[in-house]
Amino acid sequence: MADVKLSELHKYYGNVHAVRGVDLTIADGEFAVLVGPSGCGKSTLLRTIAGLEDLDGGTITIGGAVVNDLRPRERNIAMVFQNYALYPYLTVNENIAFGLRARKTPEIEIRKRVSEAAEMLGIGNFLQRYPRQLSGGQRQRVAIGRAIVRKADLFLFDEPLSNLDAQLRDEMRTEIKRLHHEITTTMIYVTHDQVEAMTLADRIVLLRDGKIEQQGAPLELFEQPRTGFVAGFLGSPSINLIPATLKANGAGAAVVFQSGDALTLPKARAESLINADGQQVLVGIRPQHFSRAGGPLRDGVVPYSAVADLIQPTGTRTFTTIKIGGFDAVAELQAHDVSSHGERIDLAIDLNRVVLIDPASGLVIA
């Protein structure tokens, strides 16, 4: 068990400044997920923690001890990669036990740990098989088994599920979450999949160009993004960002689109926006904040009449493309709320959680 502290970490590959001053504290037992677009430095950051990359600056502390000068095997870290190469000529049992044998662990202890891990991962019946006789998900579990028998202080995962099909990914994601509940070891998990990040994390660390853009609990990042980048990265379908001009006076506030349409913002927002009167903004409305209008509207919910363009049913919900202020926006409606292209639909938009972004700085202003 261990907490992890990163301070002022820097890593260069030649001219590429891959990690640019990362400060991060992960509590003992916490499940932290590093997420961000391809190339933002997630794997590099993880590999520096593991000791697989040398640092160009900064300090890594694990369990209170600075590990900068320790070699990977001295850091007591277990790592599961995307390409979890298993030894093809060893059985599942021998694959899981491999690291323990290499460390000269007594046989009786090896047997105990392997059977515990296999039990926890539901692969007890496959111990005598070879990797080629397993499905992708079963192989993935063997790779995780190999890591957990080590009783490491810290688990690092780098996109361990990206080779699996969608259904298996969902299953394994649940298993990894359950595993963390059972063994409560600190975990740092890298993914570029925002759904994986949201569902697994105690804390999401969203990276962008080698820096932390924002970190916090999943719903905190989702509901209170500090930048347009965070708002746009989390959520599927993505948040709609529509250019508009803000009008605000003491009596109220509204966003006016280039088409001339306007939406009145909730009263609670008006006061803080007086100074931003006349400012250009991107109006961020999540697809989930649309619904079919019906009955009286709550405070902060406004009516909007639109024409359904593309209709994408998912079974549970139907994603419908409409125009707002002349721009395409996606509304997530109930499965049967809309039936045909070109249909006029009366919508309600909940603006209580609208985010307004300054397009110049990318910062959320309200």
Which residues contribute to the site for ligand ATP (CB under 6 A)?
Answer: 13, 16, 18, 36, 38-44, 192
- Residue 39 interacts, among Mg ion, ligand ATP, none and using kind-specific CB cut-offs from 5 to 8 Å, with ligand ATP
Provide the b/e sequence for 26-53 (b: ≥16 CB within 10 Å).
Answer: beeebbbbbbbeeebbbbbbbbbbbbeb
Q: 43 or 95: whose CB is closer to Mg ion?
A: 43
- Residue 240 interacts, among Mg ion, ligand ATP, none and using kind-specific CB cut-offs from 5 to 8 Å, with none
Q: Which amino acid is residue 316, in one-letter code?
A: T
In the complex, the smallest distance separating the C-beta of residue 34 from Mg ion, rounded to whole angstroms, is 9
In the complex, the smallest distance separating the C-beta of residue 43 from ligand ATP, rounded to whole angstroms, is 3
In the complex, the smallest distance separating the C-beta of residue 32 from Mg ion, rounded to whole angstroms, is 16
Q: 17 or 292: whose CB is closer to Mg ion?
A: 17
Binding mask 43-82 for Mg ion (x = CB under 5 A): x---------------------------------------
Under rule CB under 5 A, residue 321 binds Mg ion: no
Q: Residue 131, Cβ neighbours under 10 Å: how many?
A: 20
Q: 208 or 323: whose CB is closer to ligand ATP?
A: 208
Q: 54 or 182: whose CB is closer to ligand ATP?
A: 54
In the complex, the smallest distance separating the C-beta of residue 53 from ligand ATP, rounded to whole angstroms, is 8
- Residue 297 interacts, among Mg ion, ligand ATP, none and using kind-specific CB cut-offs from 5 to 8 Å, with none
In the complex, the smallest distance separating the C-beta of residue 82 from ligand ATP, rounded to whole angstroms, is 8
In the complex, the smallest distance separating the C-beta of residue 4 from Mg ion, rounded to whole angstroms, is 19
- Subset of 31-50 contacting Mg ion (CB under 5 A): 43
Q: 36 or 228: whose CB is closer to ligand ATP?
A: 36
Q: 81 or 98: whose CB is closer to Mg ion?
A: 81
What is the spatial distance between Cα 281 and Cα 263, in angstroms, rounded to a whole number? 13
Return the HEC string of the chain. CCCEEEEEEEEEECCEEEEEEEEEEECCCCEEEEECCCCCCHHHHHHHHHCCCCCCEEEEEECCEECCCCCHHHCCEEEECCCCCCCCCCCHHHHHHHHHHHCCCCHHHHHHHHHHHHHHHCCHHHCCCCHHHCCHHHHHHHHHHHHHCCCCCEEEEECCCCCCCHHHHHHHHHHHHHHHHHHCCEEEEEECCHHHHHHHCCEEEEEECCEEEEEECHHHHHHCCCEHHHHHHCCCCCCEEEEEEEEEECCEEEEEECCCCEEECCHHHHHHHHHHCCCEEEEEECHHHEEECCCCCCCCEEEEEEECCCEEECCCEEEEEEEECCEEEEEEEECCCCCCCCCEEEEEEECCCCEEECCCCCEECC
Q: 197 or 285: whose CB is closer to Mg ion?
A: 197
- Residue 58 interacts, among Mg ion, ligand ATP, none and using kind-specific CB cut-offs from 5 to 8 Å, with none
Q: 152 or 205: whose CB is closer to ligand ATP?
A: 205
In the complex, the smallest distance separating the C-beta of residue 169 from Mg ion, rounded to whole angstroms, is 17
In the complex, the smallest distance separating the C-beta of residue 234 from ligand ATP, rounded to whole angstroms, is 16
- Residue 318 interacts, among Mg ion, ligand ATP, none and using kind-specific CB cut-offs from 5 to 8 Å, with none
Residues of this chain that interact with Mg ion (CB under 5 A) are 43
